[in-house]
């Protein structure tokens, strides 16, 4: 599955989400191409990466202060390492699939990444999980490609690859118009369904996870001037050595867009004023600045 | 057509062949200027000096159409509504909840929403001015932050009855509103002489406009409260007083900023209204007829305008009715929480 929609998700998209987005629509003022006008234009001249605008690691946003004001680096831990490796693996697998390379061995590529030089956590387990994801994606992409080729036997292979693996993964885009970093990397843009996906490693759903695709949709609209009305969060996690993938598909309407704008402005304000927001009541276990604050 | 406004002098509202007609006197005869099916109407607003037939009242009532009369301030001087069904249960709960945590929670929800909308308006205007007028933008932003602090203090207020929390909540509301209007006064042209909100007796054009706008909004909230089966006089935040529609005033708090303040400031910033459109009579600032019509049409258009809220597209008047119904559902125990309406921009 990962970025492919299963049967239920497809039905939900076609029967619920698409009609809903057509009916309700989005306020013109909240389309990314109006980046130069209120309320989209940033209040402060601060450029932030998307994850720092949308993340909710620290309840007081002290992680943002430490990163951008005190310029401190967080420490690698198991969740962070797992997340990074799985993101890399998904991107690698889809890149190969888009080139029609379905049989490239996993281990050669993994070795070259030299993750063990800087990462912390249960690295052998992380490698096992990454291989599961890699095999899963390539086998599914191959299957989709075979279906496409058998349906259109006279089509060019490249054309069928573009249609059967319609995902721009780690798509780089400039977010400066909307107060984001100049180099943003969208986990996935499904160009046939016009959906922006964000990948989360872990199974805990959270409303705030919808912010990231909303932010990317706004940036996407600011650059390409194409409306993006649907986003998705893909949750990948592992249970009893089994890969589990679930999706949350949602409309990127006025509520999410204005919420994202509020978050962007709040975070930019904090950095601009160089204001320490203070310690949280309790540090989240997975926070990379736990050794700095340690509450 | 959903709302029929009869504005001006010498107009007559009657019935012809089952249709509602508006006639205007020309010389010694009347000519029909508007004709509509009663089933297409939702509300009839009589804003000028005119007359109507008892047949028209009967037909409108039969079709569940709200009929309201506005005075020169925009206040609802009279209203005729069809009898309501299913109100006993709702009203019983409304009175009972006054002395419970539910009542206190409602009072808090109205003001929470109000503060969030104040923050949204200030934040939006700050961003609009950040390039052209950074000092004003900064004042607006600082005001927004102040209200945010007050709003976070509001969260710590708890009580088991309205009387236990009202004083604290109203104190906070007063602080936030003071900060809000002080900031708004910085973006209104000085020629209007707007320094503060003066309430009932407007001393300046901006207050006159706001009073008129709030009165029209009050009419809409009254309609919503009535159709939701609530008692307009049984409020939670506003204290009971003979003749005071406290429940209507409670509900109105959520909508003042997004509906009236923004529309009024838009008219002012587009220079559609000028100081010469006003005169002071017996110490009260009054607008001329043309301005009154302009404000009325702007706000009634706004009520029919659409707003996207909770992934739905609402007409403002339907949203107000929806919120009133949510209050009723909460009071009857059909929902566990009431969330006031607010937008982020």
pLDDT, one tens digit per residue, over B121-155 is 999 999 999 989 999 999 999 999 999 999 999 99
Q: Which structure tokens are listed for A69?
A: 């004001």
| Cross-sheet strand order for the sheet of A230-239 | A167-173, A184-190, A195-201, A230-239, A242-251
Q: Which residues in chain A (22-51) have CB-CB distances under 8 A to chain B?
A: 23-27, 29-30, 38-39, 41, 43
**d(C-alpha B153, C-alpha A174), whole Å:** 39
The pTM of the whole model exceeds 0.95:
no
Residue B159: the pLDDT is 87
Shortest CA distance to B120 belongs to which of B289, B328, B343? Answer: B343
Strand partners for A185: A172
Is pLDDT at B48 greater than 80 in this prediction?
A: no
Ranges A167-171, A231-235, B51-55: which has the least confidence: B51-55
Query: B152, B308, B313: which to substitute to probe chain A, counting the most A Cβ within 10 Å?
Result: B308
**d(C-alpha A27, C-alpha A14), whole Å:** 22
Shortest CA distance to A219 belongs to which of A264, A184, A187? Answer: A184
| Cross-sheet strand order for the sheet of B76-80 | B3-6, B43-46, B66-70, B76-80
Give the CA angle between residues B128, B184, B140 to the nearest 5°.
Answer: 55
User: Nearest-CA distance from A261 to chain B in Å?
Assistant: 9
Is pLDDT at B231 greater than 90 in this prediction?
A: yes
A150 touches chain B (CB under 8 A): no
CB contact under 8 A, B344 and A261: yes
Residue B1: the pLDDT is 56
Residue B86: the pLDDT is 61
Enumerate the residues of chain B whose CB falls inside 8 A of the CB of residue A25.
308, 313
- Biggest alpha carbon–alpha carbon distance for chain A: 64
Enumerate the residues of chain A whose CB falls inside 8 A of the CB of residue B312.
24
**d(C-alpha A58, C-alpha B342), whole Å:** 26
Average pLDDT of the residues of chain A: 95
Question: Could you say which DSSP state residue A15 is in?
Answer: I
CB contact under 8 A, A24 and B127: no
Shortest CA distance to A253 belongs to which of A102, A30, A86, A69? Answer: A30
SS3 state of residue A235: strand
How far is C-alpha B104 from the chain's CA centre? 22
CA distance readout (Å), A222 to A140, A179, A269, B139? 33, 11, 22, 29
**d(C-alpha B247, C-alpha B181), whole Å:** 24
Q: Is the four-CA dihedral B112, B116, B119, B121 of positive or negative sign?
A: negative
pLDDT above 90 as % of chain A: 90
Instruction: Write the ipTM.
Output: 0.87
Task: Provide the pLDDT confidence category of residue B31 given band limits of 50, 70 and 90.
Answer: confident
Task: Provide the pLDDT confidence category of residue B27 given band limits of 50, 70 and 90.
Answer: confident
SS3 state of residue A147: helix
Shortest CA distance to B147 belongs to which of B188, B178, B108? Answer: B178
Residue B254: the pLDDT is 97
Question: Could you say which DSSP state residue A68 is in?
Answer: I
């Amino acid at each position: 599955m990962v970025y492919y929609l299963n049967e239920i998700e497809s039905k939900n998209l076609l029967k619920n989400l698409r009609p809903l987005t057509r009916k309700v629509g989005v306020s013109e003022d909240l389309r990314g191409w109006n980046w130069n006008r209120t309320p989209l234009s940033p209040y402060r001249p601060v450029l932030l990466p998307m994850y720092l605008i949308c993340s909710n690691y620290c309840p007081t946003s002290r992680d943002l202060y430490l990163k951008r004001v005190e310029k401190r680096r967080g420490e690698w831990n198991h969740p962070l390492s797992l997340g990074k490796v799985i993101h890399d693996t998904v991107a690698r697998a889809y890149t190969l699939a888009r080139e029609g390379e379905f049989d490239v061995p996993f281990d050669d590529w993994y070795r070259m990444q030299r993750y063990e030089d800087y990462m912390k956590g249960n690295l052998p387990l992380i490698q096992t999980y990454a291989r599961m994801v890699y095999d899963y994606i390539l086998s599914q992409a191959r299957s989709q490609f075979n279906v496409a080729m058998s349906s259109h036997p006279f089509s060019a292979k490249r054309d069928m690859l573009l249609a059967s693996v319609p995902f721009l993964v780690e798509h780089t885009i400039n977010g400066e118009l909307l107060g984001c970093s100049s180099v943003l990397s969208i986990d996935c843009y499904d160009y046939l369904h016009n959906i922006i996906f964000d990948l989360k490693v872990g199974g805990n759903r959270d409303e705030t996870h919808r912010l990231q695709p909303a932010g990317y949709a706004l940036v996407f609209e600011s650059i390409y001037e194409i409306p993006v009305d649907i986003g998705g969060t893909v949750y990948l996690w592992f249970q009893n050595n089994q890969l589990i993938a679930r999706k949350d598909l949602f409309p990127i309407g006025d509520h999410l867009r204005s919420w994202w704008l509020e978050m962007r402005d709040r975070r930019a304000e904090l950095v601009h004023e160089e204001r320490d927001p203070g310690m949280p009541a309790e540090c989240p276990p997975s926070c990379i600045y736990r050794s700095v604050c340690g509450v | 057509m959903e709302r029929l406004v009869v504005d001006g002098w010498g107009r007559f509202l009657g019935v012809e062949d089952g249709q509602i007609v508006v006639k205007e006197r020309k010389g010694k005869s009347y000519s029909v200027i508007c004709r509509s099916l009663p089933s297409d109407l939702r509300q009839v607003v009589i804003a000028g000096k005119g007359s109507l037939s008892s047949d028209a009242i009967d037909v409108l009532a039969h079709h569940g159409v709200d009929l309201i009369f506005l005075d020169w301030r925009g206040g609802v001087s009279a209203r005729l509504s069809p009898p309501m069904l299913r109100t006993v249960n709702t009203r019983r709960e409304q009175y009972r909840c006054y002395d419970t945590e539910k009542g206190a929670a409602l009072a808090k929800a109205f003001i929470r929403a109000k503060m969030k909308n104040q923050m949204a308006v200030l934040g939006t205007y700050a961003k609009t001015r950040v390039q052209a007028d950074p000092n004003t933008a900064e004042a607006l932003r600082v005001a927004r932050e102040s209200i945010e602090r007050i709003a976070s203090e509001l969260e710590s207020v708890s009580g088991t009855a309205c009387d236990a929390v009202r004083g604290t909540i109203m104190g906070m509301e007063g602080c936030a509103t003071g900060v809000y209007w002080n900031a708004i006064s910085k973006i209104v042209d000085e020629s209007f002489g707007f320094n503060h909100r003066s309430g009932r007796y407007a001393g300046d054009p901006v207050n006159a406009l706001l009073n008129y706008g709030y009165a029209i909004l009050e009419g809409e909230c009254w309609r919503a409260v009535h159709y939701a089966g609530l008692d307009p006089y049984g409020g939670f935040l506003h204290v009971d007083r003979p003749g005071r529609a406290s429940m209507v005033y409670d509900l109105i708090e959520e909508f003042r900023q997004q509906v009236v303040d923004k529309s009024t400031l838009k008219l002012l910033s587009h220079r559609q209204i000028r100081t010469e459109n006003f005169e002071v009579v017996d110490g009260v600032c009054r607008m001329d007829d043309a301005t009154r019509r302009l404000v009325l049409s702007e706000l009634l258009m706004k009520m029919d305008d659409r707003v996207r809220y909770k992934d739905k597209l609402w007409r403002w008047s339907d949203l107000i009715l929806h919120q009133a119904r949510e209050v009723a559902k909460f009071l009857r125990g059909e929902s566990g929480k009431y969330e006031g309406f607010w937008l982020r921009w």
